[in-house]
Structure 1
Amino acid sequence: MLEEIRIYAMERMYRMLLEGQSWGNLKICSSIRLKISKLKKQQRFWGVIPSGVQKYEVRIGNDGYAVDLNNNTCGCRSWQVSGIPCVYAVAVISYLNRNAEDYVAPWFHTTMFLTCYNHTINPLNGSSMWPEAPYMKPLPPQKRRLPGRPTLKRKKDQSEMESKGKRRHTISKAGSVNRCTICRERGHNRSTCPTRPADVASTSRPKNKKPKKCKVEPVQVDPVQADPVDPVQVPAPNVEPIQADPVDPVQVPHVEPVDDPAPHVEPVQVDDPHPNVDVPAQPVATRKRIRKYSERITKIGLRRKVLKKEGSTGHNPMVLE
């Protein structure tokens, strides 16, 4: 691949050098001349208004751009970036009856083009004449399994692909030469062979004609009448029923339950884990609130019992009188 790149670059540099020499006395490159000629056709729609020394304003409707010929600048900044006068600068240059090629950047001149391609790449001998290196030859990369399911079908040729909406299941015979099976000559087959005897029938048939199908007439067959067959009567066998012997029930002895008294377990006394900690007594207000709440619950319970005996359900027992 590197050799192909070197050969391509060597040939291109020589070809571009010949092209630059064919321009003759042209000041700028031919491709830049074509761009400027197109801009000269577009600049006629713009109006130029002089503002000062080498400063102008180019307008069309509400759009306007400032052009400075001394600094080679324009309000659109295209002239500064590319080095080629934009359509607004060309309008100003045409307004002054000057040549737009004089305002092109110097790196687009013919002399600069010839200087760039003046150098050449020297030719080299083939790889068979290269000196052998004492190092080991590089090995190909290891074969690795690609991600995804491996392909089993082969890659088909372009002639095997679909063409004109029809699927091609066979390889095309375009370019192949026919050989006759009678005279063994090329250029024709046995159906068009001039030396074919008259008694040899041609195996080929027209493509558009289909072989005729033979019509088969149905044959009428008389139905066969089968003789009636008398059914055979087989007498049923006399089978006596089998009587099973009576089985005595198994007598299970009665077992009286045994009272197993539960063992007596003495309570375990647990020592206080914090014997030296004094538990604070409840305040007086808390004790009064608890006593009042317990009395209220007692009254509610008594009230419910009375109402339940009387059978009244409409009165709310939670409300005390």
Structure 2
Amino acid sequence: MRFSNPMELKNCLTNYVVKNGYNLYYEKNDSQRLLVRCSKDSKNPSCPFRLWASWMSSERSFQIKSLVDDHNCSRIFKLGSIVTYKWIGKHFKNKLLKNPKMSIRKMKAKVSTKFNLIFSVTQCRNARRYALDEIKGSLIEHYGKVWSYDEEIMRTNPGSTVKIDVNAMPDSTTYFSKMYVCFKSVKDGWIATCKRVIGVGGCFLKGIYRGQLLAAMGRDANHHIFPIAWVVVAVENKETWKWFLNLLLSDIKMRISHGLTLISDQHKGLVQAIKERVSVVEHRQCARHIYANFKKRFKCEQYRKFFGQLLLVLLNQNLRAFFEVDKACDAYENGISKSFNSIIDLARKRPLLTMLEEIRIYAMERIFWGVIYSGVQKYEVRIGNDGYAMDLTNNTCGCRSWQVSSIPCVHVVAAISYLNRNAEDYVIPWFHTTMFLICYNHTINPLNGSSMWPEAPYMKPLPPQKRRLPGRPTLKRKMDQSERESKGKTRHTISKVGAVNRCTICRERGHNSSTCPTIPADVASTSRPKNKKPKKCKKEKAPHVEPVQVDDPHPITDALVDDPVNDVSAQPVATRQRIRKYSERITKIGLRRKVLKKEGSTDHHPMVLE
């Protein structure tokens, strides 16, 4: 048999092994020859199977020269390296194309069932990555298609807005920076029917190239999520938020921003960007994040009690007095942004264009499935002796709930029922079913596959430069203390920011033991460095030496003793004591422990223990 290269022969051998369960291995494997045998390191090493192949000298083909196709070994279910992850990825590519969200564990079970073999999780993980790369191309080719994706959106959905920003290097290479997408049908639907309330938020991306997805969410007539625009940025800061807000306000025809309400979390740079770009807008900050930030700043339990007392005081006031009217929304939390982040949780792990396509498909499916009946009917009984004045002609009530939410409150319903009228007649058109249907009357046109996208006359950008954040990389966001407590996690940590050090020697504040002023400078210099353990020296036995008797050539005589030169004063001579090294102190401590444990005595060592 002839093959164009050795790789084709190896693929055929892998198919042969998987079908029959033979333990083949490559005894010789290079670019010129291939020798295959069976049953390496098995209970039956004498299997006669042998295959020899090499290049033909007369033509450019790789041919099997000799083959002994006999086996006396038994079938096995765990093959060696002859079955590679690339082979698994090629045979499982079509299923991953239909279901790219398939988990590795599920893929391992399907592969093992299909081929009746045992595969490892690592093989399946590499095979899945290889198959997805084969489907979507490498990341360099993937990011090189962003301009073509822009052209395809503008071709199929005229009037949409797509902005791509790249960073140009001195060597003429470009790196992807950020990308903004807003479809014409979505912004037309929001302008025509939706309330002038937008929730803005962001979430982290979990792919190879990290970044953040910023999105603007509206509310339809049934208070459902209505995605308006989204942008992918490398870093969330004031500049990226201003760039996003400028494009968003331009698309929704509200560059002056009068009559617009923004609801947001306290993201990095968002508050400053709103003050600089849209200072006249009504900005409502999410109450849940205000409470979370309060708990971060004041962690003691007594402060939480004060926060609760503060809320009780505020409840006695009319909080809606600070809300602008005619917005048809009395929300003070940004739940729609959090819901959108939860919906695209799996998409955030995909490459850039794959993630954007999943968001686009989600918006298309919402428009198709969102045509459902919705009626606004609220009937409650008034409790209490408080009275509120209302004007049915001007649509006002003393509690201001009707002016803020544009939905008749319980007090208005009581008055309307007394007049035998229909309360639905007093609801503004934004909540009518016709407006709800018109909101989804605009459609997002489908796109062709990436192979049919038009070529853009721009330089293909490279993937964004990797930016490693300090610390251990994480995929999950950091939960607040209240969330950890709700999930049963009671571990608490105390921040050391602002804490004053206390010296363990003099017990004074403001310094530690290494900088204590009571220790002389020469003694402090011999101390052990901080956070460094002493090195353990290897114990070596001294060589045994036999005692030797040596005669003194100059014995001491009486004349020498009486010599006045050798007369030494009985007064002690002042000598400078040597500073003990750190290693000597460690040795002393170890000997003291041995003495206390009765493992030795002071006579065994010349050092005197105090």
Q: TM-score, normalised by structure 1?
A: 0.37
Bigger Cα Rg: 1
Q: TM-score, normalised by structure 2?
A: 0.20
More strand by share: 2
